[in-house]
A and B are shown apart, each in its own frame.
Chain A
Amino acid sequence: DAKTTQPPSMDCAEGRAANLPCNHSTISGNEYVYWYRQIHSQGPQYIIHGLKNNETNEMASLIITEDRKSSTLILPHATLRDTAVYYCIVEYGNSGYSTLTFGKGTMLLVSP
């Protein structure tokens, strides 16, 4: 079973920031938080991951709380093409190998 809890759906206006929450209260010290998204009829796309510190890349920012029990994925300026299912996943990753356990994710709908 997935180790994370996400809202089933969220809405966002185009051009605004999308903040997607994720709870992972049972995360262990060496487990990473990964975010993927899946646009309709495509394979999942890796977005970002982190261990303790906040992370930012060209796609998004990841904010992890100090106790690591929750995180937020931020898409700073959402576009219509960001409409997708977003998955938050907690797994061991420091060996370079992990079998991802996907939940149902959050369906983000970006509207004009």
Chain B
Amino acid sequence: DTGVSQDPRHKITKRGQNVTFRCDPISEHNRLYWYRQTLGQGPEFLTYFQNEAQLEKSRLLSDRFSAERPKGSFSTLEIQRTEQGDSAMYLCASSPEEGTGEQYFGPGTRLTVT
């Protein structure tokens, strides 16, 4: 399967702990996006990478959140000092440079903060 993959699929953590999620995009896609989805809502944009450069960040991405894409391939999203309000599905998507905006999503990482 050459789709977008995310790891882990599920994460349960205690409040105050740090967590890190990984996203592997489709190999030839140089654009990578992170979204967050809470129960009953549509996904919300967090941040965007073109190759290794982080070009856009939503105001939703507080100081406790950091994302990297060091070699322009996989990306990580870290949340420090987790809070219960961070409980959500974290989705990664990728798209090709030559496309017309369509994005291909991974299965998501479900985070539960207790």
Q: Do A and B come from one complex?
A: yes
On A, residues with C-beta under 8 Å from B are 2, 32, 34, 42-46, 49, 85, 87, 91-105
User: A99 is contacted by which of B41, B48, B50 (Cβ under 8 Å)?
Assistant: B48
B-chain residues with CB within 8 Å of residue A97 when the two chains form the complex: 31, 48, 50, 95, 101
On B, residues with C-beta under 8 Å from A are 4, 31, 33, 35, 40-45, 48, 50, 56, 58, 91, 93, 95-108
- With known contacts A43-B91, A44-B105, A96–B43 Cβ distance under 8 A: no
B-chain residues with CB within 8 Å of residue A93 when the two chains form the complex: 99-102
CB of A99 within 8 A of CB of B56, answer yes
CB of A99 within 8 A of CB of B33, answer yes
In the bound assembly, the distance between CA atoms of A44 and B99 in angstroms comes to 18
In the bound assembly, the distance between CA atoms of A85 and B52 in angstroms comes to 32
Interface of A is mostly: loop
Q: Give the distance to chain B from A52, nearest Cβ to Cβ, in Å.
A: 13
Residue among A34, A100, A105 having the largest count of chain B Cβ atoms under 10 Å? A100
User: B42 is contacted by which of A49, A92, A99, A104 (Cβ under 8 Å)?
Assistant: A104
Residue of A nearest to B9 (CB): A41
CB of A43 within 8 A of CB of B106, answer yes
B-chain residues with CB within 8 Å of residue A104 when the two chains form the complex: 40-42
CB of B44 within 8 A of CB of A98, answer no
Residue among B93, B96, B100, B105 having the largest count of chain A Cβ atoms under 10 Å? B100
In the bound assembly, the distance between CA atoms of A46 and B104 in angstroms comes to 6
Apart from A43-B4, A92-B101, A99-B58: 12 A-B pairs, beta carbons within 8 A: A2-B42, A42-B107, A42-B108, A43-B91, A45-B105, A49-B101, A49-B102, A93-B99, A94-B101, A100-B43, A102-B41, A104-B42
